[in-house]
Structure 1
């Protein structure tokens, strides 16, 4: 694509009782954002105008019923539904969860069809979205089913990138999920993403141990010795710049992460607690490994402040900018990978 081409950013509205609608509105109140992208919100004009009035915003929405009617230079709202919705800020509501999924499904369908270029998802409540038709622990798992590739939750900021071997898995089940095949798959996904999405030609990747102190030679579990270490050694012999396993308790405190392009944690909290501690408000959740780009802010629905007008849109705004940047870098990577002579001419 041309570098000056306006990217169509699809937005699933998330939990309507949370802070999602507020941070979306605040993001696009800044008219400069429309110079970078064409936003397409999947919800309804009725509900978005309710939020506009509630938050006393001057934003103007462009209502459309089909994506062939979207307008550049405007904040488009696709009418996924037209009925009124009862909003109770800060309340967990099964019906609200159903609307979050309606928005998500419509946005993902548009992404698959190429009607939007990237997807940015506002926060959902993982409990109230569950149903017989939708039984996924989060966005990442649903997108893994709907899109091509192998998804990986990749938390990224300016100076830190953290991927996960296992994401929404109970801690007691983590060791049984980590196999040599999974380790190879996740490392390949991270390595490929660093090359095509972040323009890092020879990525250096650190891997955190499964057990405390990497198992202390079997004293605190043997999974690091029997599974993780042999898999990493094989990958190193194949030429991958992969290091570890490192004891997780000291790795971040000693700033060891600054020596690597990415860190792979064995499970959710091992990676996300330090990531959010170091970067909170400036981090982005990126679903790597798929054929389409999806990002989201690094926080949840924040029911405790929903409707109060105090939500900080910084992470959502950064998620939007990151999606645009990754889309452009991936487009460049794919273009020059197919045309090596053109790549050489850039030097």
Structure 2
């Protein structure tokens, strides 16, 4: 029996950026063609890419209003893609980059894709950056550094741990995931000398959730790169993003864990400074498309396995 092709939406992101260019390049990439997936391109027409779901014409004027228009189109594309996935018309979505300031100017009060998708789906989500070398999960995402200590609660770490464990098992096929928790303070606080959070908060939650650590940031990612851990939960955005981008920039994939559908995206932004020049690399988007098809396949296989009734003894 021939497997049904994966059905995936791909949003163009902010049309002012490199999204349309890299989507066009990725769809022509032979690796994407070999996946045998069915792709629906979602975004504005006249942005340089034929679209399956047309949100209206993109006609840049060169004025400041274009930021709000670009953000509005990016937000509308995410809304439409998520709706199609929630209705079962798509198995998952791949999102090209959007600009967070433009998104807000366009009427969408979210700091990024991850938070917007969580709101649209009505479920808690966790942000993972994954490559063939390293997987990093962010316990807190797009907030100011000064807000991190208050935002990093036991419940937040538990949620990240539970979602990461389920994602590694169900989507990545790792039967017994090994997850490390990165410390908040230098040297994991050095027994309270550089802060109490690692001893008072992170250590008890790590034990409760079956995590290793907390380990200092300057060693835990090295240990993961050497194969000791399947993922590292980072306490705040930049400590995790710096590690994954130094290790795998241009080939890492952003995966949103916890959604009822697959969502991936490239590991970079809109690159407004090079948009329209034809020089943007589509490599991370290609990797995101490949991973989306892989994750859809694993979810389908798990669903089929769960649907088969157990064989009666005798």
- Does residue 294 (structure 1) correspond to residue 263 (structure 2)? The answer is yes
Query: Which of the residues 192, 204, 207 maps onto 2:181?
Result: 207
After superposition, residues 4-83 of structure 1 pair within 5 angstroms as 4-30=3-29, 33-35=32-34, 36-45=36-45, 47-48=46-47, 51=48, 61=50, 77-81=52-56, 83=57
Alpha carbons of structure 1 residues 274 and 42: separation in structure 2 relative to 1, 3 Å: same
Alpha carbons of structure 1 residues 115 and 87: separation in structure 2 relative to 1, 3 Å: farther
Q: TM-score, normalised by structure 1?
A: 0.83
CA contact (8 A) 2:86 2:260 kept: no
Give 2:302's aligned residue: 333
The gaps in structure 1 that reach 5 residues or longer are 53-60, 62-75, 343-347
The gaps in structure 2 that reach 5 residues or longer are none
Give 1:258's aligned residue: 227
After superposition, residues 272-291 of structure 1 pair within 5 angstroms as 272-291=241-260
Q: How many residues align?
A: 310
- RMSD, aligned CA: 2.3
Task: Determine helix, strand or coil for the equivalent of 1:245.
Answer: strand
- 116-125 vs 131-140, greater mean Cα deviation: 131-140
Alpha carbons of structure 1 residues 87 and 311: separation in structure 2 relative to 1, 3 Å: farther
CA apart distance, 1:337: 3.5
Query: Which of the residues 277, 293, 299 maps onto 1:308?
Result: 277
d(CA) in 2 for partners of 1:162, 1:38:
29
Cα deviation code 1:25-68 (max 9, x no counterpart): 001123663452111111244x14xx25xxxxxxxx4xxxxxxx
d(CA) in 1 for partners of 2:83, 2:76:
11
d(CA) in 2 for partners of 1:87, 1:131:
16
Alpha carbons of structure 1 residues 3 and 158: separation in structure 2 relative to 1, 3 Å: farther
d(CA) in 1 for partners of 2:2, 2:147:
45
CA contact (8 A) 1:251 1:257 kept: no
- 94-103 vs 217-226, greater mean Cα deviation: 94-103
CA contact (8 A) 1:111 1:118 kept: yes
- Does residue 198 (structure 1) correspond to residue 172 (structure 2)? The answer is yes
CA contact (8 A) 1:212 1:247 kept: yes
Cα deviation code 1:116-146 (max 9, x no counterpart): 2110000000001105842000000011111
CA apart distance, 1:250: 2.7
CA contact (8 A) 2:127 2:254 kept: yes
Q: TM-score, normalised by structure 2?
A: 0.92
- 293-302 vs 104-113, greater mean Cα deviation: 104-113
Give 1:141's aligned residue: 115
d(CA) in 2 for partners of 1:249, 1:3:
48
d(CA) in 2 for partners of 1:134, 1:120:
19
